[in-house]
Amino acid sequence: MQDRNFDDLADKFSQNIYGTRKGQVRQAILWDELEAILPTLPAGTLSVLDAGGGVGQISSGLAARGHQVLLCDLSAEMLKLAETHARAEGVSHNMQFRQISAQQVGGHLDKPVDLVLFHAVLEWVADPQAVLQALWQTLQPGGVLSLMFYNAHGLTFRTLTLGNFGYLRANMTKRKKRTLSPDFPRDPDDVNRWLTACGFEIEQRAGIRVFCDYMKPQPGVVKSVEEIIEMERRYCRQEPFLSLGRYIHVTARKPRQKDQL
């Protein structure tokens, strides 16, 4: 099996992921998590790796704060969109772009980084444990992995609410291979086990879109994005809602060395 390359769907990916209400909710919760992470890292300019960074929506925001970002992606088309976005935001001077996989990027770093972003990539890679181990190697002690992955439990619950029982009986096997539906939805227990095996300490978890995908439309009633984000923020770190998120974000830290404590 090969990791997914989005050259053929780059424009559609960008529009569908970021140009929607779902995208706004996702961005809001991700930034909440990052706002909790950043104060725990060294003061001043941080070195950031955005692995499989796509169009760089989050990492360009970090670059706007003065941090130095290396964005890598397998897709040349995605990198073009990321560079265009960085120029439009006026942050290209704080960003570098490399067409390379997350597994290989460690060999292209001058030194370990403070923060790794790995958002919505784990569900597309054939060997997730190897990728997480590779990202562990890119982090300096005390550094943080910001990991967001497509939640298998959220997919199951969504499929149940739609009454798509045939899809469940088929073990939710994709009929079309080249779509924006992730190839490998991840069980959170598996992800936690892989992170622990690498040596990470899991500090916080949050669900993303813990209810908004399950809302039943009411005639004549339209909920604003702001209202939805308010409720997502209220419940995203509480069980059982967290585990129903379409995505789950995990804050995982590489332990500090003893002389740093």
Annotated binding-site positions for S-adenosyl-L-methionine = 26, 52-53, 73, 102-103, 119
Single out the residue of 152, 17, 3 nearest to residue 81, CA to CA: 17
Q: Are 141 and 257 spatial neighbours (Cβ–Cβ below 8 Å)?
A: yes
Helix (H), strand (E) at residue 78: helix 76-89
- Whole-angstrom Cα Rg for the chain: 18
Q: DSSP secondary structure string, 26-71?
A: HHHHHHHHHHHHGGGSPSSPPEEEEET-TT-HHHHHHHHTT-EEEE
Q: Are 143 and 253 spatial neighbours (Cβ–Cβ below 8 Å)?
A: yes
- Please report, in range form, the residues annotated as the binding site: 26, 52-53, 73, 102-103, 119
